Amino acid sequence: MKTKITAFAAAALMTLTACDNLTSEQRTVVGVTGGAAAGLIAAEALDANKNWRIIAALAGAAAGTIVAQNQATNTCAYARGDGTYYEAPCP
């Protein structure tokens, strides 16, 4: 099972390197898909039940969308340590 997960993760990583010249909408779709897959892979690796796998996939999709949108605007979020954050250009 771990070999399947490793192979899928490697294939996903190679696919994401080809995302340099995508539109904002295409980048969002890639973020949603990649995030959902990553959440599902993590749930599978932890032997989660069916309900937790769905929750992990949805959470991964949400995180992937945020990452994709931040890459589109080249804006990063930084934590202040008190529960708030600020946005600034990515380094």
The rounded distance, in Å, linking the Cα atoms of 34 and 38 is: 6
Q: What is the pLDDT of residues 33-81, one digit of tens each?
A: 888 888 888 888 888 888 888 888 888 888 877 776 676 677 777 777 7
Helices (H), 1-91: 2-16, 24-45, 50-73
Containing domain of residue 64, as a range? 2-89
Q: How many CB atoms lie within 10 A of CB 77?
A: 11
Contact 27, 68 (CB under 8 A): yes
How many domains is the chain built from?
Answer: 1
How much is the pLDDT for 12? 59
Q: Tell me the C-alpha distance between 36 and 56, whole Å.
A: 7
Neighbours of 32 (CB within 10 A): 17
Task: Please tell me the pTM assigned to this model.
Answer: 0.54
